[in-house]
Amino acid sequence: MNTSLYRVLVCDLRSDQLLDVLPLQEVTVEDFIGKAGSLQGTVPIPNAAMADRVRPILTPARTALWVERDREIWWGGVLWSVNPKSDERGRISVEVQAGTFDTYLEHRQLRTTLKATNRDQLDIARDLVDYAQAQTRGDIGITYDTELSGIKRSRTFSASDQPKIRDLLDKLGEADRGFEWRIRCYHDPKSGARMKQLDLGHPILARPGDDVVLTHPGRLLTYEFPTDGTTVANVWQARGASDNRNQAAASRPLLSEPLVAEQDLAAGWPRLDGSSDHQSIDDPKVLGEHARAEAALARRPQVIPEITVHLDPQISPDLLGRYVRLRIRDDWHPDGLDARHRVVGISVTPPERGKAESAKLTLETPYGDSPQ
């Protein structure tokens, strides 16, 4: 029988002052490397006293939610949506939806042109977060370390484009020899404070630790290995900003050099064309950096394995960036599968009546490999 205790802490987003601890039902929390995570759940309102507690503190865009499991932080983010509702029996509940703290940066725009010349790309990323938090009332307590990648870049981020800080971070990391990033939530081991740390990893975010072995049959309950060939391209070209300096002539977009995977064509692949748009990029060198990264990703069908496992001491949000080893023997894998994958997503469903807690892990397939 599962005895894990989940708590949802409701805090002020800017100060992180604790406002209340609320029950949450039908909850699912998820976190990822490479995209925003989310929380969905329902706060039951059995009486007027609970309504009076909840009504003033569940304020979208102003409230932070933290999920603790056995007093360890498993998730943190910004409350974005609240939906109080009543069913046909008059039972009231409040549906809540929240996004991981990186979603805050989707709501912050660059209003001052920033330039970086020959700076480490991770320092440029920190400069963008510093800009967001240096603006009046813009600091929500995001911290970071000082590790460097060794890759220096020059960038100009124009205020006239009014770009979102989140988009600038994503685009910077997606360039050739780029980096991954996320905001990791945890308790400070010394002070006990709830922390929001900008984690930056070059070329990937990989956390140390021994591989977690998952077997099927065994701890691995279900698996899916969907493969999508619609994104495959072996000839790639990126398109940048249009040149509008000559008003009398038709504007022409900046184009990268076509990138052709000749070895794939020689190996029997048909020609498959792909392209991308970067309307804010007017530097050929920067456009080429993005084209090379995109062309490398597009060469093979995307395989995004998902597995479901029982929660145990080895399965937690700290698994993000760690490696698991899948060992499967069944009718589809009669000779046995033994494959190593990095965990890039985790979705946790706490226990409910008649339902055990479980976790769905999203895995990364190394280039050229397939678990099929």
The 8-class DSSP code of residue 328 comes to: E
Helix (H/G/I), strand (E/B), else coil: 21:
strand
Spans of all domains in the chain: 6-104, 108-201, 212-228+302-364, 235-298
State the pLDDT at residue 366.
67
Q: Which CATH number fits domain 108-201: 3.30.70, 3.55.50, 3.20.20, 3.40.50?
A: 3.55.50
Average pLDDT along the chain, 372 residues, taken 10 residues at a time = 78 98 92 96 96 97 96 96 95 97 98 97 98 97 97 95 96 96 96 96 92 91 92 96 64 92 96 94 94 93 90 88 94 93 93 80 72 48
User: Would residue 13 be called left, alpha or beta, if left means φ above 0 and alpha means ψ between -120 and 50 degrees?
Assistant: alpha
Superfamily of domain covering 212-228+302-364: Baseplate protein-like domain - beta roll fold (2.30.300.10)
The pair of three-digit structure tokens given for residue 276, joined into one six-digit string: 């991308």
Indicate the helix (H) or strand (E) that contains 266. Answer: helix 262-266
The amino acid that residue 193 corresponds to is: A
DSSP string for residues in 188-212: -TTT--EEEEEEEESS-----SPPE
Helix (H/G/I), strand (E/B), else coil: 75:
strand
CB neighbours of 306 closer than 8 A, spacing ≥ 6? Answer: 223, 224, 226, 360, 361, 362, 363
Indicate the helix (H) or strand (E) that contains 294. Answer: helix 284-298
Q: Which CATH number fits domain 6-104: 2.30.300.10, 3.40.50.720, 3.30.479.30, 3.30.470.20?
A: 2.30.300.10
Helix (H/G/I), strand (E/B), else coil: 95:
strand
Helix (H/G/I), strand (E/B), else coil: 363:
strand
State the pLDDT at residue 313.
83
The 8-class DSSP code of residue 112 comes to: S
**Contact between 58 and 84 (Cβ < 8 Å):** no
The amino acid that residue 346 corresponds to is: I
State pLDDT tens for residues 37-86: 999 999 999 999 999 999 999 999 999 999 999 889 999 999 999 999 99
Residue ranges of E strands in 231-296: 235-243, 252-255, 259-260, 273-277
First-to-last C-alpha distance (Å) of the chain = 35
Report how far apart, in Å, the C-alpha atoms of 24 and of each of 63, 97, 252, 360 are: 15, 12, 54, 20
- Helices then strands, counting H and E runs in the chain, come out as 5, 24
For tokens 């100060």, name the residue.
15
Do the first three CATH levels of 6-104 and 212-228+302-364 match, i.e. the same topology? yes
**How many CB atoms are closer than 10 A to CB 218?**
13
State the pLDDT at residue 368.
45
